[in-house]
Amino acid sequence: MEIQSSQIEQISTVSQSSNSQENISKKTATAAEIQDWLVCYLAELMENKPDEIDVTIPFDRYGLDSSAAIGMIGDLESWIGIELDPTLPYDYPSIETLARHLAEESKVNV
Amino acid sequence: MNTLKTQNLGTSAEAIKHHYDVGNDFYQLWLDSTNTYSGALWEENDANDTLELAQLRKLDFHINQARAKGAKRVLDIGCGWGSTLKRLIEVHDVEQAFGLTLSKAQAEWIASLNLPQAEVKLESWQDHSPVEPYDAIISLEAFEHFTKLELSHKERIAVYRKFFSHCHQWLKPSGWMSLQVSTYGNSRREDSSQFVFTEVLPETDFPTLAEIIEGSERIFEIVAIRNYRQDYEYTLKAWLSRLKANRAAGIELVGKEVVSRFEKYLSLSSICFHQGISNLFCFTLRRIDNPRKDSSC
């Protein structure tokens, strides 16, 4: 994920979620729920259908640059209701691994 | 000495104002209580470490590296809101601590600290002319403001050599300097973020490690270098977390756009230091008292 600003105008960490899903606090979200949210988010961002998103493919293969990753984490943070590190997509670089990690984290934080 | 004109090749006072004069109240919301705005040094594996302790540890580290304890006169180039000056005077028994800044908001803040042994000048290092030499010099993340993105390699090195030559002139024989600088890491200058260097920190640029070495060669002896990029990642995340926790108050003070810009900046920077795209180097430097002249002289 190169540092580029191409999508910085499109996504703001302070702005409301661009995701079509309901913006609700989910302190005990399951891995499946988080995975669904990420699939929908990426599908909308990439203008693809959700079933075209492979949960095992690294985020950067979808063209998600650092600015877009920050936007995604900001919106996910608003939805899941716990503070998230902006570096998470680098430590857990696919939908599947990130969702699994966050589900474990949200259990710990309850 | 290189004869290239180096005046005004760094960040202008207007560009400094754009970033640092957003509002002292705003910075207080997310910096630690010492108002230190540079990477802190964290204690590894200490879950009880705090941002404030890590910042004080960093200040003490640089004060020790510069051999400034008990000194008569110490200079801090790019002194921010004065935390190093305060620490030098109150904890390390320095007689007089001098600070340079281009930020009016920072100079006013330091004036309000009631530190009679501190003297702050609103001037560039390029215009500084001390009446007496200094025993030690400290400079924390000011170096990034000495050049701009568009400069050529030759211009950039000329600025850096001028900076180190000035410090050399200002220091007493065998004097020490401690420097903290963000640099390019596993990245190229042409990949640098337009967002950071236009919207957040205009007229600013990181050096590379090689450029700092080339700039200081035969002027200062490099005694120690260490990369603290992970410490900067932790610091940026601590700042971001505090800003998020105080988001409503921040928006009240400076508006949503500025808060959004800073959150994005801190997030992007934490990724850069996490990934090694950027590094944070601390240099311990000793003045070379009989430097071999540049061949161009």
Virtual torsion, Cα A33, A39, A44, A47, nearest 10 deg = -160
pLDDT at B13: 87
What's this model's pTM, rounded to 2 decimal places?
Answer: 0.90
Tell me if B110 is assigned to some domain: yes
Tell whether B297 is covered by a domain. Answer: no
Q: How many CB pairs under 8 A join A and B?
A: 62
Q: Is residue B170 part of a domain?
A: yes
pLDDT digits (tens, 9 = 90+) for B42-57: 998 888 999 999 999 9
For B222-238, what is the mean pLDDT? 98
Angle between helices B13-20 and B104-111 (to 10 degrees): 60
CB contact under 8 A, A87 and B270: yes
| pLDDT grade for A19, boundaries at 50, 70 and 90 | very low
Q: Which residues pair with B178 in a beta bridge?
A: B138, B284
**B67 confidence band (pLDDT: 50, 70, 90):** very high
Mutate to test the interface with B, among A1, A10, A13 (most CBs of B within 10 A): A13
| A4: confidence class by pLDDT, cuts 50, 70, 90 | very low
Across chain B, mean pLDDT equals 94
> Range of B108's domain?
16-37+48-287
The pLDDT, as a whole number, for residue A109 is 59
User: What are B103-130's pLDDT values in tens digits?
Assistant: 999 999 999 999 999 999 999 999 999 9
Residue A21 has pLDDT above 50, yes or no: no
- For B6-59, how does the pLDDT look when each residue is reduced to its tens digit (9 = 90+)? 557 898 888 888 888 889 999 999 999 999 999 999 998 888 999 999 999 999
pLDDT value for A15 = 37
Contact A96, A42 (CB under 8 A): no
Which has more pLDDT, B124 or A4?
Answer: B124
Report the candidate in A51, A23, A35 with the shortest Cα–Cα distance to residue A102: A35
CATH number of the domain bearing residue B196: 3.40.50.150
Domain assignment present for residue B62? The answer is yes
User: Residue B217 — pLDDT band, cuts 50, 70, 90?
Assistant: very high
- pLDDT greater than 80 at residue A110: no
Please compute the mean of the pLDDT values over residues B154-173 and round it to a whole number. Answer: 97
Predicted complex: ipTM over 0.85:
yes
Residue of chain A minimizing CA distance to B255: A14
Cβ(A90)–Cβ(B275) under 8 Å? yes
Question: DSSP per residue over B214-244, as a string?
Answer: HHHTTTEEEEEEEE-HHHHHHHHHHHHHHHH
* Domains defined along chain A, listed by start: 31-109 (1.10.1200.10)
Show residues of chain B in contact with A3, CB under 8 Å. 187, 191-193, 268, 271-272, 277
**pLDDT per residue as tens digits for the range A48-93:** 899 999 999 999 998 899 999 999 999 999 999 999 999 999 999 9
Note whether residue B188 is domain-resident: yes
Q: Would you say residue B218 lies in a domain?
A: yes
Provide the pLDDT for residue B297: 45
Structure tokens, B98? 């001098």
Domain count, chain B: 1
Q: What number of other Cβ atoms are within 10 A of residue A23's Cβ?
A: 11
What local confidence, expressed as pLDDT, does residue B200 receive? Answer: 87
Q: Does A78 touch chain B if contact means CB atoms closer than 8 Å?
A: no
Residue A5 is nearest to which of B193, B259, B270, comparing CB atoms? B193
